[in-house]
Structure formats: C-alpha cells, structure tokens
Structure 1
Amino acid sequence: MPVKLSVLDLAPIAPGESPADALAHTVRMARAADEAGYARVWYAEHHNMPTIASSATSVLIAHVAAHTERIRVGAGGIMLPNHSPLTIAEQFGTLGALHPGRIDLGLGRAPGGDRAVLAALRRSPTDSDRFPADVVELRDYLAGASRVPGVQSVPAASSADAVPLYILGSSLFGAQLAAALGLPYAFASHFAPAALHEAVRVYRDTFQPSDALSEPYVIAGVSVYADGDADAAAAQFATSRRRRVRGMIQRGPGARDYSDDEIDAFLLSPAGQQIAQMATYTAVGTPEEVREYLEAFALEARADELITVHGALDADDREQSLRLTAATAA
C-alpha cells in the first residue's frame, strides 16, 4: 500500500537570499506539492532565527492557501504557550472560513525560541504547564462550544470549514495528551528521533476514541534528499548538514567561520555525534532509493503518514526532491 506523504516546509532563507525570496520559494514549493499529490503542507512557528521565515505562521498559511488549489495547508505547528487559545482560535477559525476544508492546526508545547524570545513575547517558561488545558479550551472555541462564560471565537467553525487539531511532540508527553484527547499525533522524528518508537507505542496503546477521531493516527517526520543522481543527493545532504552545524556552533559576536573540513571533523566528535543523530531518519539517494527508505520507515515507525522535510539549500533542488519523491508513489 502506498505511503501517504505530506510536506513540512521550514521556509528556509538560504545564504544570499532575502526573506522575500524565501517566501516566494515557499509558495513555489507548495504549488509543486499540490500538483504532485501530497496530502498537506505545514509550516512551523520559529522565532529569532535568521534562516527561517515562518515566524508569522498563520499569515504564511493564509498566503499559501490563497496560492494553491487542493492541498491542505496548516501549522506544524503553532507553539501554543506563546499565545492565548482565543487568539489562535480566531486566527484559524478565520482561515477555515476563507479556505473551507483545507486548514490544519498542529499544536506544540515548546516555546519556539529561547528565554530572550519568551521575554520579547511577554511569555513565561511556566506557560507551557497550561498546555493540556489550553488545547482543550482552543478545541472548544473552534467547535463553537466555549468553556469561558460570555466569550466565543468568531468566526467559529462549521462542519464545512472545521479545522482539525493535531498534537505535535518529540517525547511521551505529547503522545499521552494526544491519546487522552483522541487527536492525531505527529512526531518530530526528522530532528528529534530518540523517543519515536516509545511515543508511538504509548499513543497507540492508550488512545481514547473521540468525536474527532475513532482510531489512532500517526504522522512521522523524515528528512529527504532525492535526486536523479545519488551522489548529487549525498552532496546536498552534506551541505545542508554543515550549514545546520554552523548555525549551532557559530553564535555570538566575533564567532569565527568554520571550514567544511572542520565541520566534518566536528561531526565525528562526541558533541558532533549528538548533532548528527538528529538526522537519524533521513532518506538520501535516487527516487527509487528514497521511496524504498520511506516505505520501510513508515512500517518501522507504525506511521499512517509521513511528513517529508526536503532539506537541500537550493530551492530548485528542494523542489526537484519533492517532485521526485512523489513521482515514485504512483
């Protein structure tokens, strides 16, 4: 049975690009995913990251949905501790009314930034403690069944423009919450692979059916570098990984640049190996090799759907990877 595929686009700002360039490429990727038959394309809330252009996630979703035809468009995810449930309900209720049947809302508990970002957002690290209650409050706003006396979200969802919720996570916490609420669960195995199998087991074993979902539904993240030439795909992966490592170790004023050889040597060190493990679930190679990997990974992860992250730095390479991956699904 073919693996159901979706796309997580981090809206990357490549070296030498402007944010406007990056956002134009994001629209292009979404259109390509729409044409290629992917189920959904998601964007994630990140703050204070010069290489990611998706901080205003709901704004980006509105723009992409207006420039695509069929594909579902959503958040993977909104970091709910950064917002009031009413604000997000109003934003996504509006998106659902504008694009009926095409909007998803994935919710995460992480702050999407460090303590300085939290302070700038006027939030506290303890806000994440309210995550389960905030998810329930948000769910009820979207359903037109507010638990807050005298307050309703406008527009609220109707059956035609309902916005389904997904719980995102990289630990057992999200798995337990998604199971308890009877919601679909998306695991961030594309960058935090360690707890994947245990989290999916806990979710499936403890799932409680709900009005939203009768059976457990798992989405697992996986990075993809597909190219007609296997060596080219491997080179794209190596270049992308070096850039990620540079972003992690080159911080603060006066930080020096590191050569590719120095980065490769660092990746062999104990600290570098910890970073390298983030790419545990990565498909690299020709379309056939990638497809074989994805099918095996879906079985291993007990995933109903895979959300693919096409990580090449060059926008043309990302789009080619996206199209080649989908082409082998037929």
Structure 2
Amino acid sequence: MIDVPLSALEVAMVQAGTRAVDTLRDTTAFAQRLDALGYRRLWYAEHHHSPAIGAFPPVVLTAHAAASTSAIRLGSGGVLAPNHAPIMLAEQFGTLAALHPDRIDLGIGRGPGTFDEATARALRHGAGPTTDDGYRDDVAATLRFLVEEVALGTLPEPWLLASSDAGAALAARLGLPMAFAHHIRPDNTLAALDHYRAHFSPSPWCESPRVLVCVETICAETEDEAGWLAGPMNVVKAGLLKGHSEVPFPSPEEASAHPFTAEERAGVAAFGAHQAYGTPETVLRRLTEVAKATGAEELMLVTPVYALAARLRSYELVKQHAATP
C-alpha cells in the first residue's frame, strides 16, 4: 500500500517502425486515461534531436492535454531554462495557468535536452553550456516575471528539477518544491534530499521542504512480461553505457535479440535495482520502499515501454493495487 499520491512523467518515446506524429497522437489518449485513473499530475519532458524521444515542446503538450482533460494537473518536467528566455516561460505558463486555474505546473530543469552539441548551441543562439550562476539567474528571473509581468490571476506551481546536490542546493536556496530524478541518478538521491531539507529557505512559493521523486516503473501481470517490456529501454541504457547517445527505441522483439555484454547486463541490473519492475505486488513493494527511504511526499512514475496499450496497462495495474490519496 502506498500512502503518497502518484503522478506520471511523459517522455514520448518514438517506437521503432513508427513516426513521431504517431507518438504525438498517443499523448492525448495517454493524458485522458491517466486523468480518468486519478493520477495527480502529468508532466512532459523537453528533448531535442533524438531518434528515441519526440521533440515535442512541453508547453504545447501541456496546453493540448489541459484542453482534453478535466482534473489532472499538467506541466513541464521539465522545461529547460537555458533554452528559453525567462520572460517567455513566465508568459507561456502564466497564460496556461490563467486558462486552466490550479492545474498547471512549471517544472524547470537545467540540461540541454540533447546529446548533440550543435543542437544545444542552436537552442541557445550559439552560446555554450550555462554556468551555475547563469542557471540560478534564469530560474530567479522566471519566478520574478511570473509575479511582476504576467499577473493574470492564478499562477502555475513552480518546481525545480534536480539530479544532483547542485540542483538540490538551488531548490533549497530559492525555496521551491523539488522533483528529484531518481530514474536517472538513483545514486545521488538520498544525499541530495538530505542537503535540500537541511538548507531549505521558506519562500512565498513553498513554506517547507516538499519532495517529489521520479521512479522508472514497469508493471505487468507477470515478472516475465515486465522483463519483456523493460527490454527496449535496457537497449537504450546499454547504448548510453557505451557512450552512444543516438540509440533508437526498439520493439521488445528487437530488444530480445540484442547482444548485451556482461558489462552492459551488470550496469542495467545495477540501475534496475533502484527502480520498480514486476508484478503489481513487486512494484508496489518497491515504490513503498522508495517512498519510505526518501520521505517523498509524492512519487512520479515514468514507464518507457513500447506500445501505448502496454504503457497504459502498467499505470492501470499500479493504480488498481495502490490505495493512494
């Protein structure tokens, strides 16, 4: 039994043998089903120039989903501050919040959203990687513009995304709720959360530390089926372990034929030990363990599996077996 709310992260994987437009259409059905299931929020991640992930702007997906759902909170998880002018982020998400009161989140992150250096520079008008000071100033300016320039009434709820102590330190300094990428850097989770809670400064946005933890979650009727569904993402992870950033998202059949090395299998297994895969009983136990270990007030599930039906079934099984607020 899980006693914290459950949310979802949409990464919009483009399946081998399909087109990006097919993935884009699936996002609508996905949002509507999660709304019906009672998930608290659904966030969209920003990615660029990837053969495995659609380059769909979070603000556009948020607007479309908000118009086709009724209760679920929607937003970015995250929109990447260095790629955007702060005033534009404030105007875009401020407008969404005015159109859909108390349903819009502005989750802000730092990364470029791509492994391709030329793409990263194009996103930033030729500039190189942002500095710590530059990122802090961008986030602070976005928050300031929300209050001073937009002023349309209901504001979006701001969150800072983090995967390290540095991100946690900034969230604490600015007094923002923090969403931690346990699904990316599980080795950093506990130390970063400790730092955030120890150094948190209350702000008008958040009176006390507030933590959401994102967990990679694949749930199926059997352990074997869950393992089968996890295969495509395991291929992508194996490619990343080799330093290959341009790895397509294969079908489960293609993934089952992938020649994993012993090192790749060990790396994938080590990562998976921190996530939640298996039957509903196994997944609920793992999610409960993560919630207890981290003290998270909310868990966000990311489910990178091939085919919309299988992905939705995973979220359905979790929700059916979890008694959540």
- Name the SS for the 1:216 alignment partner: coil
Letter of the 2:122 counterpart: A
Question: Does structure 2 conserve the Cα–Cα contact (< 8 Å) formed by 1:246 and 1:263?
Answer: no
Question: Does structure 2 conserve the Cα–Cα contact (< 8 Å) formed by 1:220 and 1:303?
Answer: yes
Residues 175-254 of structure 1 mapped to structure 2, 5 A cutoff: 175-246=168-239
Letter of the 2:110 counterpart: R
Residues 46-57 of structure 1 mapped to structure 2, 5 A cutoff: 46-57=47-58
Question: Could you tell me how far apart the structure 2 residues matched to 1:135 and 1:225 are?
Answer: 33
- Name the SS for the 1:110 alignment partner: coil
Question: Could you tell me how far apart the structure 2 residues matched to 1:239 and 1:26 are?
Answer: 19
Alignment partner, residue 127 of structure 1: 130
- In structure 2, which of residues 289, 298, 303 is the aligned counterpart of residue 296 of structure 1? 289
Alignment partner, residue 309 of structure 2: 316
Structure 1: runs of 5 or more not aligned: 145-151, 253-257
- Name the SS for the 1:190 alignment partner: coil
Question: Could you tell me how far apart the structure 2 residues matched to 1:66 and 1:279 are?
Answer: 36
Tell me the CA shift for residue 239 of structure 1.
3.4
Residues 66-145 of structure 1 mapped to structure 2, 5 A cutoff: 66-113=67-114, 114-121=116-123, 122-129=125-132, 130-144=134-148
Question: Could you tell me how far apart the structure 2 residues matched to 1:50 and 1:243 are?
Answer: 11
Question: Does structure 1 conserve the Cα–Cα contact (< 8 Å) formed by 2:30 and 2:312?
Answer: yes
Letter of the 1:320 counterpart: R
- Name the SS for the 1:311 alignment partner: coil
Alignment partner, residue 10 of structure 2: 9
Alignment partner, residue 276 of structure 2: 283
Tell me the CA shift for residue 109 of structure 1.
1.3
- Name the SS for the 1:104 alignment partner: strand
Letter of the 2:309 counterpart: D
Tell me the CA shift for residue 260 of structure 1.
4.6
Q: Kindly tell me: are residues 277 and 108 of structure 1, through their superposed partners in 2, closer, same or farther at Cα, counting changes over 3 Å? A: farther
Question: Could you tell me how far apart the structure 2 residues matched to 1:311 and 1:112 are?
Answer: 17
Question: Could you tell me how far apart the structure 1 residues matched to 2:157 and 2:255 are?
Answer: 45
- Name the SS for the 2:301 alignment partner: strand
Tell me the CA shift for residue 229 of structure 1.
2.1
Question: Could you tell me how far apart the structure 2 residues matched to 1:54 and 1:60 are?
Answer: 11
Question: Could you tell me how far apart the structure 1 residues matched to 2:100 and 2:56 are?
Answer: 21
Alignment partner, residue 157 of structure 2: 164
After the TM superposition, which parts of structure 1 deviate over 6 Å for at least 4 consecutive aligned residues? none
Question: Does structure 1 conserve the Cα–Cα contact (< 8 Å) formed by 2:162 and 2:168?
Answer: yes
Question: Could you tell me how far apart the structure 1 residues matched to 2:55 and 2:70 are?
Answer: 21
- Name the SS for the 2:187 alignment partner: coil
Tell me the CA shift for residue 281 of structure 1.
2.5
Cα RMSD (Å): 2.2
Letter of the 2:91 counterpart: E
Q: Kindly tell me: are residues 65 and 263 of structure 1, through their superposed partners in 2, closer, same or farther at Cα, counting changes over 3 Å? A: farther
Question: Could you tell me how far apart the structure 2 residues matched to 1:92 and 1:132 are?
Answer: 19
Residues 18-37 of structure 1 mapped to structure 2, 5 A cutoff: 18-37=19-38
Give per-residue Cα distances to partners, 1:139-168, cap 9 Å, x unaligned.
Answer: 011112xxxxxxx3xx4342xx21111111
Tell me the CA shift for residue 280 of structure 1.
4.0
Q: Kindly tell me: are residues 131 and 221 of structure 1, through their superposed partners in 2, closer, same or farther at Cα, counting changes over 3 Å? A: same
| TM-score, normalised via structure 2 length | 0.89
Q: How many residues align?
A: 312
Letter of the 2:194 counterpart: R
Letter of the 1:127 counterpart: T
- Name the SS for the 2:26 alignment partner: helix
Question: Does structure 2 conserve the Cα–Cα contact (< 8 Å) formed by 1:191 and 1:279?
Answer: no
- Name the SS for the 2:306 alignment partner: coil
Question: Does structure 2 conserve the Cα–Cα contact (< 8 Å) formed by 1:25 and 1:315?
Answer: yes
Q: Kindly tell me: are residues 13 and 247 of structure 1, through their superposed partners in 2, closer, same or farther at Cα, counting changes over 3 Å? A: farther
- Name the SS for the 1:214 alignment partner: coil
Question: Could you tell me how far apart the structure 1 residues matched to 2:159 and 2:126 are?
Answer: 23
Moved more, 284-293 or 163-172: 284-293
